[in-house]
Amino acid sequence: MEPIFPKWTNRIPLYLGIGIPLLVIAIVTGIWYYFSPKFLAVGYEPEQPIAFSHQLHAGQMGIDCRYCHSGIDKTEIAPLPPTETCMGCHNKVKKDSPRLELLHKSYKNKTPIPWVHVYSLPRYSHFNHSAHLTAGVGCVSCHGDVSKMETIRLVSPLSMGWCLECHRDPMPNIRPQNQITNMIYDPHASGYIPTNDPDYKDKLIQPPQACGACHY
């Protein structure tokens, strides 16, 4: 008597035993990644270990982004400010404030402040800060007007589609090099034309759109 079902059906339990767990893992990973505010949810605003007000420092006091985030125009990754940078001012300014207790403890013990990253990308994506700043893309294009933020929050989706919008049409985000960190500079109101700028006239402002430009 010939079998009712073909021999390959004997492997169905094996396939299900392997496939179902993998499917569950994929679903859980997808939900964790796409529905988590940690990476892509606009509005993500974590509480920081020290209540640092960008509205006060960058807005009212006019401190340039590069004072705290030094090297952003020279390195791929934007560094978070080390304790020593903060102490450059706060060894005298409000040095007895209880809100800065963790700062002084960090400085004394030579331990870093556990700042919470707001802008993070998956490991398979790379964003070079120096390349973008050198090309004339201002901080505000990705981070929004931090001079009006008491606490830093995520204002950009950081999705591939969002990045490609700028790579396909970068000109609206290009500004003079001396205005890179200026939060209120409006290139349209100023009549700025990147192709007439000596800093860019010899450069071909055509951001790459190939996969390997960001995924490597």
139 is in an annotated binding site: no
- For 20, residues 6+ apart whose C-beta sits below 8 A from its C-beta are none
Q: Which residue has the tokens 């390195």?
A: 75
Q: What confidence tens digit (pLDDT) does each residue in 102-133 have?
A: 999 999 999 999 999 999 888 889 999 999 99
104 is in an annotated binding site: no
215 is in an annotated binding site: no
69 is in an annotated binding site: yes
Confidence (pTM): 0.77
Q: What confidence tens digit (pLDDT) does each residue in 123-169 have?
A: 889 999 999 999 999 999 999 999 999 999 999 988 888 999 999 99
Q: Which structure tokens are listed for 32?
A: 């964790």
Domain locations along the chain? 1-35, 54-80+115-213
214 is in an annotated binding site: no
pLDDT surpasses 70 at 77: yes
71: left (phi over 0), alpha (psi -120 to 50) or beta: left
Query: Do the beta carbons of residue 180 and residue 89 sit within 8 Å?
Result: no
- For 102, residues 6+ apart whose C-beta sits below 8 A from its C-beta are 49, 50, 113
54 is in an annotated binding site: yes
Q: Give how far Cα 212 sits from Cα of 83, 161, 205, Å.
A: 36, 15, 18
49: left (phi over 0), alpha (psi -120 to 50) or beta: alpha
89 is in an annotated binding site: yes
